[in-house]
Structure formats: structure tokens, C-alpha cells
Amino acid sequence: MTIDPTAFQQYRHTANNKTTLPRLLLGAVVVIPFWLGTTAAVLFGGTYAFAVWQAASGTAPPGGGAVQDFMASPAGILAALASFAGIWLGLWAAMRWIHREKLTALIGVSRRISWSGFLKGLTAVLITSLLSEILLYGLQPDIARGAIGLSAWLSFLIPIAALTFLQTSSEEMLFRGYLLRGLASRFRNPFIWALLPGLLFTSLHWSPGSSAAINACVLASIAAFALLLTLLVYATGNLGAGFGAHLGNNLTGFLLISHQQSYNSFALFNAKPLEAAGWTTSDAVLIASIGIVSSLLTVLLLLHPRSPLKVEPDMARAGSVR
């Protein structure tokens, strides 16, 4: 199975002459205060409103931590997802004032989301996520019904999907769009333009509450998934398929089977949290293997020439790419 690099070559060359390494680093730095500022506004504003509501309803726990209570609540999860709007705002500012480009330049060669790629990426990851959940069930069958009722789950389905798309698309725009495209426009070596954003993306998923073995297995799975997302950009020259794949991955955890205690308010089923005690090193190795195999199967579904879900390249018309 080979990948035609033509679409990616067009994508990397859409960057203008203001996409220098110093400007790229400056733009990445600019994104940080937007992200942190939005997170702080959502965190403290949401916590205050939540505390007022608790006091008015008489449900405030004695001496409880307001921030922890809010973030553990369904409203806190929604707020946490909404905070990723800061990445979009930061990228808009960086593209507008540092690179003098439109934000849509990061999306792909055509500057439009490939919706066919989006749907294929979403479908493929939902399929392989189901397979990985079956394998994880064989490893750890302790799965319980979540606290949320079916009617409430259905009412939150669209808001959660929309906010999850906000979160996942912002990460794709930053790591597979802004950083990857910017570095690829300056360097031909994939160990620079592919590896560096992938390592940064992976490192942000470190969990201080988990054991070293579980963190290692999670980071290995995330690294494999980051490689998949990078290959999709390389094959298509567009972020659409990555948008769909990343959304499918996160929706599975938020809405179907949660493996994180802090993000299980909307999940129909709860598995044993990865941050819980009792996982062995062999468990961690198996979890990592399942994650890696799932990503490899997704690669086959989306990139194999005989697959019905094969994604198509986003090709520019002659003379339309600078």
C-alpha cells in the first residue's frame, strides 16, 4: 500500500512566505494565552455559577471544593469542551496578524473541509473503536451502566457531539494544520514536520493520576493515533478525514463507554477507569497493543485502495496553488 504525496505537496506549499520558523513559533506562543484565557474564563465563571446554584438549591457539600465539584459535574464537562474555542481564537489571531493568511488556509488545499473524508474517517473509527471495546471487554469485563438515563442521554447527544467537534477540530487545526503545515513548508524531513507535532500532541495526554505503566500504554496508543491522523493529512492534503476520525474516537469515550472517571457523566456505560488502581504491567501492554492495532486497522480502512472507505485527495486546480 503506497500513498501518493501529491496532495500533501500541494498542501505544504499553500503556506506563504511569512510562514517562517520564528513566526511559526511566535504564532504557537500566541495560541497559548487565548487557550488559557478561555479555559480560565470558563472554569471560574462556571464554578461561580455552579456554586450559586448549589447554594440556592441547598445541595452544596459542606467544605467541598467548588472547582472540583463543578469540573466533575456534567456542566463542568461541557465547559471543559467549550474551553477549546480558545485554540480556534488563537489560531485565527496568529494567521491574521502574524502570517497574513485566512484561517481556512489550514484546512486543506481547497480551503474547505472534505466532508466525504470527514464521514469516512468518522465511520472507520467508530468501527475500529467498537472492535477495540470488545477486546478491552475481554481483558476487563467490569462494565457498569452509567448514571445517565436514556432520555437525558438523547437530549445531550447533539450538544455533546457539537462541543466534542469543537474540541477535536481545534486540536487538528493546531497540531495537524498549523504546526504540521508550517513545519512542512520549511523542512522536507518528516521527522521534523510529522514527529514534532505528534510528540507534542501525545505528551499532552499524560495523566498524573495514572500509574507509569498505564501512562506508557496510553501514550503509545495516542502516538499511534497521532500517526494515523498525520497519514490522513499526508494522503489527502486536507484535515477533513482527521476531523472525522478524531471526533469518532472521542465520542466513543464521551457517549458510549467511558474509561475515565472524570469524563463519564454522559456515557451509557462505564468501564474500569484507567486511573484506577489494580492494573498490572501486562494489562498495560495489552491495552497499548489494542490501541495500536485499532489505529492500524483504521489506516487500512481509510487508505487501502480496495477499501470502500478509502479517502480521496484534496487536489487543487492547475495554477491555483502558490
Domain residue ranges in the chain: 6-16+101-303
d(CA 177, CA 20): 15
Q: To which residue does cell 506508557 refer?
A: 216
Nearest-CA neighbor of 159 among 285, 31, 255, 297?
A: 255
What does each of the 322 residues of the chain score in pLDDT, given as a tens digit? 789 999 999 999 999 999 999 999 999 999 999 999 999 998 888 887 877 776 776 665 545 566 777 777 788 888 889 999 999 999 999 999 999 999 999 999 999 999 999 999 999 999 999 999 999 988 888 899 988 999 999 999 999 999 999 999 999 999 999 999 999 999 999 999 999 999 999 999 888 877 888 899 999 999 999 999 999 999 999 999 999 999 999 999 999 999 887 788 899 999 988 888 888 899 999 999 999 999 999 999 999 999 999 999 998 654 455 4
Say which DSSP state 204 is in.
T
Q: Report if pTM > 0.85.
A: yes
Render 251-288 in DSSP notation, one character per residue.
Answer: HIIIIIEE--GGG-TT-SEEPPPTTSTT--HHHHHHHH
Cell of 274: 484507567
Residue type, 85: A
Strand order in the sheet with 257-258: 144-145, 269-270, 257-258
- What separation, in Å, do the N-terminal and C-terminal C-alpha atoms of the chain show? 30
d(CA 280, CA 272): 13
Nearest-CA neighbor of 117 among 266, 11, 257?
A: 11
